[in-house]
A and B are shown apart, each in its own frame.
Chain A
Amino acid sequence: MSAGALPALLAAEESGRGVLSPSGVEIVFLLVAVVVLGAAILCVTSRHLVHAALYLVVALGGLAVEYLLLTAEFIAWVQVLIYLGSVVVLLLFGLMLTRAPIGPSPDADSANRPVALVVSLAAAATLVTLVVDAFRTTWIDLDTPHGRSDALGESLFRAWVLPFEALSVLLLAALVGAIVISRARRDDSEEGRG
């Protein structure tokens, strides 16, 4: 922290919002953040493959609650519908179709686990230091909601309608591609393994 941080923090404390006197929304946000992070860590370390997918549900559902706390209600419900409703189900189907074991699988992690731990811890330390130092005197004004469905839909279908249509074409292309890739060909039955 530089020398100019302390007066700014003190001024923020006097104006009724400070790090040491968190508001109710901040406390709820931090509690849900602990749940999200714990579920995410369990998701990437669990030896049960199906449990990992279910921990992913907890993490993404907690993120939807965080979106609600940030007054982005439409994003929160889209997150629940698409992530929890379809993406996790797709992942569970993927686990089922690749014959993942039901019990604990000892080879869920590869041999470069220590390297991954070092890399991710270094990245976390660097980025947390940077983010905390950059935004320590920045506050979000949550009194006026900024994610209501009507305002978001208006800007989506006025300013962003061309990217929206391009995205729909992209989704169609991705769907057709997935069907073409996963279609069973004739040489699969001859050369494939099952």
Chain B
Amino acid sequence: MHLVHPATLAVLLFCVGLYGVLARRNTVLVLMSVELMLAAVSLNLVAFDVWLADELHSGQVFTLFLIALAAAEIGIGLAIVLLVYRRRGTVALDRLRALRDGPGAVAPPDEVHDPDARPAATADAAARGQEATP
């Protein structure tokens, strides 16, 4: 088989994933596009491993590791997305601008909600990501 075929397919799949990461608004859809990019890298690794006929099967073993890492990544990523959804009530990427700097910076709704109701230390902790545990 011509090596150009799998290599070109991997490149195009990677670029489709790149478009998805840049253009999507929902965080779960961005994670799907990241999966597409990882799959493109896996295809590249397998194709080049079969081409070189490596005795240690480096490319295919690395693809196995990559699949396991993708599973771990999607687990952590979805946990973070669910936490963000519980805190902010949205998963739209352009509305999560609590850490934004510059002219477009706005206070996240959690802090403008009722700033006087809690003491300053708690509000400060809330601004840093609400890591304070009771």
In the complex, the answer to whether B28 meets A100 with C-beta atoms within 8 Å is yes
Q: A120-B18, A140-B3, A177-B76 given as contacts; is B32 within 8 A of A52 (CB)? A: yes
Question: Is A163's CB within 8 Å of the partner chain B?
Answer: yes
Given A123-B15, A160-B61, are A132 and B4 neighbors across the interface (CB < 8 Å)? yes
- Any B CB within 8 A of the CB of A171: yes
Report the separation of the CA atoms of residues A163 and B18 in the bound assembly, to the nearest whole angstrom. 29
CA distance A191 to B21 in the complex (A): 31
Size class of the contact patch on chain A? 35 or more
The A interface, classified by DSSP as helix, strand, loop or mixed, is helix
B52-105 residues at the A interface, CB under 8 angstroms: 53, 55-57, 60-61, 63-65, 67-76, 78-83, 85-89, 91-94
> Given the complex, which residues of B lie within 8 Å of A110, measured CB to CB?
23-25, 92-94
Which listed residue, A83, A139, A181, touches B3 by the CB 8 Å rule?
A139
A37-B16, A119-B18, A191-B110 as given contacts; A49 in contact with B26, CB under 8 Å: yes
Provide the main secondary structure of the chain B interface: helix
The B15-59 residues at the A interface (CB cut-off 8 A) are 15-29, 31-33, 35-36, 39, 42-43, 46-47, 49-51, 53, 55-57
CA distance A109 to B64 in the complex (A): 32
Is the CB–CB distance between B46 and A72 below 8 Å? yes
Partner of B1, one of A25, A56, A175, A181: A25
- For the complex, count residues of B whose C-beta is within 8 A of A: 81
**B106, CB-defined interface residue at 8 Å:** no
Q: Is the CB of B7 within 8 A of A135?
A: yes
Binary contact track B118-129/A, C-beta < 8 Å → 1, others 0: 000000001000
The answer to whether A142 and B134 touch (CB under 8 A), given A66-B9, A87-B71, is no
A190 CB to nearest B CB, Å: 9
Question: In whole angstroms, what is the CA distance A123 to B42 when docked?
Answer: 19
A3: Cβ under 8 A from any B Cβ = no
Contact of A127 among B11, B25, B67, B85 (CB under 8 A): B11
Leading 3 A-B pairs by shortest Cβ distance: A44-B20, A116-B22, A174-B72
